[in-house]
């Protein structure tokens, strides 16, 4: 039950952060959103899915516990591809 509450709170916060909350009722099915958009990626990590929430200003990885090394490698490869597509998100050295 606690996990469900956390997931619901995170979902509401994510929608609010994208700036789409007021636009949701006005959007038609299949219509392109105006302004910032959040993308949700679900990555198989063996025992469940890790969730990567991608915002215009950054990313959030939720529940990334993998079942084995093969799934860890797949997750790292996916996250690396997201950061390769968005070089502005890499930490400045």
Is residue 46 within 8 Å of 68, Cβ to Cβ? Answer: yes
The reported pTM is 0.57
Domain ranges of the chain: 2-25+33-89
**Strand partners for 49:** 44
Arithmetic mean of pLDDT, 8-31: 52
Arithmetic mean of pLDDT, 14-20: 51
pLDDT at 40: 92
- Residue 69: partners with Cβ closer than 8 Å, 6 or more residues away: none
For 82, the 3-state DSSP assignment is helix
pLDDT tens-digit readout, 22-80: 444 544 555 566 778 889 999 888 888 889 998 888 888 888 788 888 888 988 899 88
Q: Tell me the C-alpha distance between 62 and 73, whole Å.
A: 17
């Amino acid at each position: 039950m606690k996990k469900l509450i956390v997931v619901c709170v995170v979902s509401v916060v994510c929608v609010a952060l994208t700036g789409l909350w007021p636009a949701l009722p006005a959007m038609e099915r299949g219509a392109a959103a105006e302004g910032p958009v959040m993308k949700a990626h679900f990555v198989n990590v063996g025992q469940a899915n890790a969730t990567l929430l991608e915002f215009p200003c950054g990313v959030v990885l939720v529940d990334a516990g993998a079942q084995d090394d093969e799934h860890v490698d797949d997750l790292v490869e996916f996250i690396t591809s997201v950061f390769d597509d968005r070089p502005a998100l890499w930490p400045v050295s």
